[in-house]
Amino acid sequence: MEYKKNDLLTVTIEDMGHDGEGIGKVDGYTVFVKDTVIGDKVQAKIMKAKKNYGYARLVEIMEPSKDRVEPRCAYARQCGGCQIQALSYEKQLAYKQQKIENNLIRIGGFQKEEIPMQPIIGMEDPYHYRNKAQFPVGCDKEGHLIAGFYAGRTHSIISNRKCYLGVEVNEQILNLVLAHMEAYDIPAYDETTGKGLVRHVLIRYGFQSKEIMVCLVVNGSRIPGAEDLIAKLREIPGMTSISLNINREKTNVILGRKGKLLWGQEYITDTIGPIAYQISPQSFYQVNPVQTEILYQTAIDYAGLTGKETVIDAYCGIGTIGLIAAKKAGKVIGVELNKDAVKDARINAKENKITNAAFYQGDAGRFMVEMAAKGEKADVVFMDPPRAGSDERFLSSVVKLSPKKVIYISCNPETLARDLKYLTKHHYKVEKIQPVDMFPFCDHCETVCELVRK
């Protein structure tokens, strides 16, 4: 059977795809239906039809799945932030574990029985876990100022100052900022015309330190009534840093290159395990501090350091993993592409009085090739690449350096599977795999993997 746009069909959801969308079949025709979960029987309308499959919109749930729950958030369907809020948390965890396993089998070429996967570690309380939020500011149809989140795959703003993934103080800060904009007649930035001032409100919160950072991203260099705004924001306990970030480009990159401090200091500090980190508006820092601690601890445990090892922390960001490892290793060499992150890593080493860690700026692959060419040795390699995963240049140099262990931290099961396939064909064996849920209600999966040289 073949379907066309606007056809209505009844389908039972049997599987879930990469992005958390439901998948079902009608007479051999596969339909992808966003906002459905396995076990739902739904009516759906085809929005885009291909020969053997199509994308459909949920019209009505005829029989809800036993795993379906009522999302806390009223905007769960429209908002692009979350994908799987309608699925019980327990089943979200099962979905992620399955997704990792499927990728290892399909892309990595592993046999199901040979995957040493531990049960995924979820959160006890999966709400309010994010330490960072970036709210776009705009206007609704009546011209009222709004702040919230982008709808899925678009740049239209859903007005919502109370997101259950973020910290509760976000709402209070947004209320203050928007009231200030109204009082001083400050226009929100308009993406289509490139006019207006306030683009985003970036808020960061240190879960351990309780320090708060507010950064207004503006299409200009100042904010009217700044003193007044500062005075109001300062009343919030923990306020530590208030700044502007200047972004005059017509781009959907959120932050511009230049910052301007309005009050307090340029960074907040937070701790993960034994290490304190300085975090500036621009820095990459894991967004879920509770699970990050578990993630890093698992990585360190897998490494089994004794105090003598030479350790490489590749794709090191601000040095988070390397600095924790430094306390248990002979020396740590970190490499990272982003210049600002490397600067932060060096400051973090100094502030924590760690003298056996050095950080270098550059492409991790090229760096490893040079190390291998010089005949240098490493005992343990931690690698935590971005979603695109690593590359053959890096992986082949790892093989040449022949560390006893490679600890791979991955935020994308597809590229993890691809890279593990390479390493397992080149003298490494996967010893353990530990998924950690860093992003409840979202479709992302984080995994730590221990590889041992055969």
Give the binding site for ligand SAH (CB under 6 A): 284, 286, 315-317, 320-321, 335-338, 341, 363-364, 384-386
For residues 296 and 234, is the Cβ–Cβ distance under 8 A? no
Minimum distance, C-beta of residue 97 to ligand SAH, in the bound complex (Å): 21
For residues 254 and 199, is the Cβ–Cβ distance under 8 A? yes
Whichever of 186 and 364 has its CB closer to ligand SAH, that residue is: 364
Residue type, 277: Y
Structure-block tokens of residue 229: 């705004």
Neighbouring CB atoms inside 10 A of 8's CB total 12
Whichever of 24 and 413 has its CB closer to ligand SAH, that residue is: 413
From the list 310, 189, 308, the residue with the least C-alpha distance to 244 is 189
**Rounded to 5 degrees, what are φ and ψ at 206?**
-85, 115
Q: Bridge partners of 137?
A: 147
Whichever of 309 and 384 has its CB closer to ligand SAH, that residue is: 384
What secondary structure does DSSP assign to 279-295, as a single string?
E-TT----S-HHHHHHH
Whichever of 338 and 396 has its CB closer to ligand SAH, that residue is: 338
By beta carbon distance, the residue nearest ligand SAH is 317
Whichever of 239 and 321 has its CB closer to ligand SAH, that residue is: 321
- From 73, 411, 442, 445, the catalytic residue: 411
Q: Mark out the alpha helices in 144-288 (DSSP H runs).
A: 169-183, 226-234
Whichever of 110 and 439 has its CB closer to ligand SAH, that residue is: 439
From the list 153, 132, 138, the residue with the least C-alpha distance to 199 is 138
What's the per-residue H, E or C state across 414-454?
HHHHHHHHHHHHCCEEEEEEEEECCCCCCCCCEEEEEEEEC
Minimum distance, C-beta of residue 278 to ligand SAH, in the bound complex (Å): 13
Q: Determine the Cα–Cα distance for residues 113 and 99; give it in Å rounded to an integer.
A: 16
Q: Return the SS3 of 253.
A: coil
Whichever of 245 and 320 has its CB closer to ligand SAH, that residue is: 320
Which residue bears the tokens 């729950």?
Answer: 69
**Rounded to 5 degrees, what are φ and ψ at 70?**
-85, 115
Minimum distance, C-beta of residue 337 to ligand SAH, in the bound complex (Å): 4
Active site residue 79: no
Q: Bridge partners of 260?
A: 244
Q: Characterize the bridge pairing of strands 198-205 and 331-336.
A: unpaired
Structure-block tokens of residue 205: 């919160």
Minimum distance, C-beta of residue 322 to ligand SAH, in the bound complex (Å): 8
Please list the active-site residues. Answer: 411
